[in-house]
Amino acid sequence: MARTARLSGFPEWLPAGHVVQASVEETARRVFELHGFAGIETRAVEPLDQMLRKGEIDKEVYVLRRLHADERDADSGLGLHFDLTVPFARYVVEHAGQLEFPFKRYQIQKVWRGERPQDGRFREFTQADIDVVGRDYLPFHYEVEMAVTMATLLAALPIPPAVIQVNNRKLAEGFYRAVGANEPESVLRAIDKLDKIGPEATHRLLVEQAGLSSQAADLCLDLAAIRTADSSFAEQVSALGVTGELLDEGVRELAAVVDGANAERPGSVVADLRIARGLDYYTGTVYETQLIGFESVGSIASGGRYDSLATDGRQTYPGVGISLGVTRLVSILLGNDLVEVSRPVPSAVLVAVLDEVSRERSQRVAAALRSRGIACEVAPSADKLGKQIKYADKRGVPFVWFPDVDGDSVKDIRTGEQTPADANTWDPPEDDRAPQVRSRTDDHRSTTDQEALS
């Protein structure tokens, strides 16, 4: 399927590619709403000082300025948001008086980062986020629900199998402190590099930058090597002989997420103690998601628990969320030809025009079909019928309708079968009503597969 990106990092799809992206977004909306998340949108801009407080990515922010702005312009100091979590935290604090807590919301919007574009990394891309925030308190069980909801969405999409990898910051921090780390965050940052630089270089970082003993560094690497499909990771952690209260709490929470999510969606979640996540604000469960066969592209759905991202000084709004990288996922699907689209246009029917005088008659047929939810278009010109059929064929429109004073007929141009038809009663087969997106690798997956939502 064709994709184009003439301005590097700013992807744009042809209509068939857009069908894929729209169906991913539509499926996300449907799954999120079934789970009780309310949709919102936040503005695309945030005050720079707000965004930069969240650290790490200041150089990636796009700053706005009006072309003929004067010095003291009210818009100066605005930038495009780089994610949907920071704007959501701001929205919650701003509107807290008008919201009910715990507040469950989803948000599907574009974000912008001025990063160097590369495979799977864009400067403009769409994210689909869910978050739950409480006022002062948020029950732990939502950390399970995030994984279940995202696993349900992933199962409903026409994509290769995906696995959500879960870790817990309390577990990591408790372990690092117990082996003698004064700055658990330095340890986390070193472990975050493990995949890229390997265990030896990570060991060096742990000793030299995080100040660990060589033995403690070994233990941290042993911890990061643990990956289990169920809560048996707990025994492996226990076998390392490190103990502590925070560590135990983290182990209990991680076991609850893995077992709880797999009880509802078997095989959807693994415990992976190597998962660090870059962002500072996570305080409990953290999630990353591998698309099997495309691990090198990076996580397609990430998030975690944050206890103090949103606060107005008097109250805090602890939350947990996870975000699907829609553009990254769609670019994998299109770039690797993993899906097929039954047609790039919505029309199920082209209504032929016999001559320009009778165009109105063809329009009445179209209006009758539309009134029953059948997408259609009227031929652009009263060309020879063969040319009109060719026109439909080129677009992938499956049916051509022939108005006739002696009785209309409709032709399936794929089979050539032509039958008498009445625009007030005829229906296309269910699969032909709207463009279908199907996985090329697994016939059972499809965005219209209701059962995948169960």
Give the residue, chosen from 129, 272, 377, 432, that forms a contact with its own copies under the rule CB under 8 A. Answer: 377
Q: How many CA atoms lie within 13 A of 420 on its CB side?
A: 3
Q: Judged by CB, which is closer to its own copies: 149, or 283?
A: 149
Is residue 266 a contact residue for its own copies (CB under 8 A)?
no
Q: Using CB under 8 A, which of 54, 110, 135, 177 touches its own copies?
A: 110
Decide whether 79 or 174 has the Cβ nearer to its own copies: 79
One-letter identity of residue 170: K
**Cβ distance to its own copies smaller for residue 134 or 161:** 134
Q: How far is the CB of 347 from its own copies (least distance, A)?
A: 4
Helices 214-224 and 184-192: angle between axes, nearest 10 degrees: 60
**403 CB-contact burial (10 Å; exposed 0-12 / middle 13-18 / buried 19+):** buried
Pick out residues in 116-145 that bind its own copies (CB under 8 A).
Answer: 123-124, 134, 139, 141-142
From the list 218, 249, 264, 412, which residue makes contact with its own copies (rule: CB under 8 A)? 264
Q: Is 66 in the site for its own copies (CB under 8 A)?
A: yes
Find the binding residues for its own copies in span 378-407 (CB under 8 A).
Answer: 380-381, 394-395
Asked whether position 424 contacts its own copies by CB under 8 A, the answer is no
Q: Is 453 in the site for its own copies (CB under 8 A)?
A: yes
CB of 8 to its own copies, least distance (A): 7
**C-alpha to C-alpha distance for 113 and 118, rounded to whole angstroms:** 12
214 contacts its own copies (rule: CB under 8 A): no
Give the interface segment with its own copies, choosing from 179-187, 241-249, 315-323, 369-377 (CB under 8 A): 369-377
Residue among 218, 221, 215 at smallest CA distance from 193:
221
**Residue 94 lies near its own copies (rule: CB under 8 A):** yes
Q: Tell whether residue 54 is a contact of its own copies (CB under 8 A).
A: no
Q: Which of residues 6-45 bind its own copies (CB under 8 A)?
A: 6-8, 10-15, 18-19, 21-22, 32-45
Amino acid in the structure at residue 329: L
Which residue lies nearer to its own copies by CB, 199 or 396?
396
Choose which of 231, 283, 347, 446 interacts with its own copies (CB under 8 A). Answer: 347
Report d(CA 213, CA 203) in Å as an integer. 10
- Cβ pair 260, 144 in contact under 8 A: yes
Q: Does 75 bind its own copies (CB under 8 A)?
A: yes
For 26-63, b where at least 16 C-beta lie within 10 A, e where not — what string? ebbbebbeebebeebebebbbebebbeebeebeeebbe
Instruction: Specify the DSSP class assigned to residue 450.
Output: G
Least separation, in Å, of the C-beta of 253 and its own copies? 15
Running DSSP on this structure, what letter comes out for residue 454?
-
Give bridge partners of residue 392 from the DSSP assignment: none
Main-chain dihedrals φ then ψ at residue 16, nearest 5 degrees: -65, -40
Burial class (CB in 10 A: 0-12, 13-18, 19+), 111: buried
Q: Which is nearer to its own copies, 45 or 385 (CB)?
A: 45
Does the protein bind its own copies through residue 65 (CB under 8 A)? yes
Build a one-symbol-per-residue string for 278-317: x at contacts with its own copies by CB under 8 A, - elsewhere. Answer: ----------------------------------------
Residues binding its own copies: number (CB under 8 A): 93
Q: Is the dihedral of CA 440, 432, 126, 168 positive or negative?
A: negative
E strands, 214-338, where? 227-228, 269-272, 285-291, 301-306, 319-325
CB of 297 to its own copies, least distance (A): 21
CA distances to 121, 238, 308, 352 from 403, in Å: 51, 76, 65, 7
Can you tell me which of 201, 225, 263, 292 binds its own copies, judged by CB under 8 A? 263
Stretch that binds its own copies, among 196-204, 291-299, 345-353, 410-418 (CB under 8 A): 345-353
Please report, as residue ranges, which positions from 167 to 206 form the binding site for its own copies (by CB under 8 A). none
Q: Are 23 and 437 in contact (CB under 8 A)?
A: yes
Identify the residue among 114, 184, 199, 244 touching its own copies (CB under 8 A): 114
CA distance 46 to 75: 10
Query: Which one of 20, 28, 85, 102 is in contact with its own copies (CB under 8 A)?
Result: 102
* Cα 247 from Cα 227, distance rounded (Å): 17
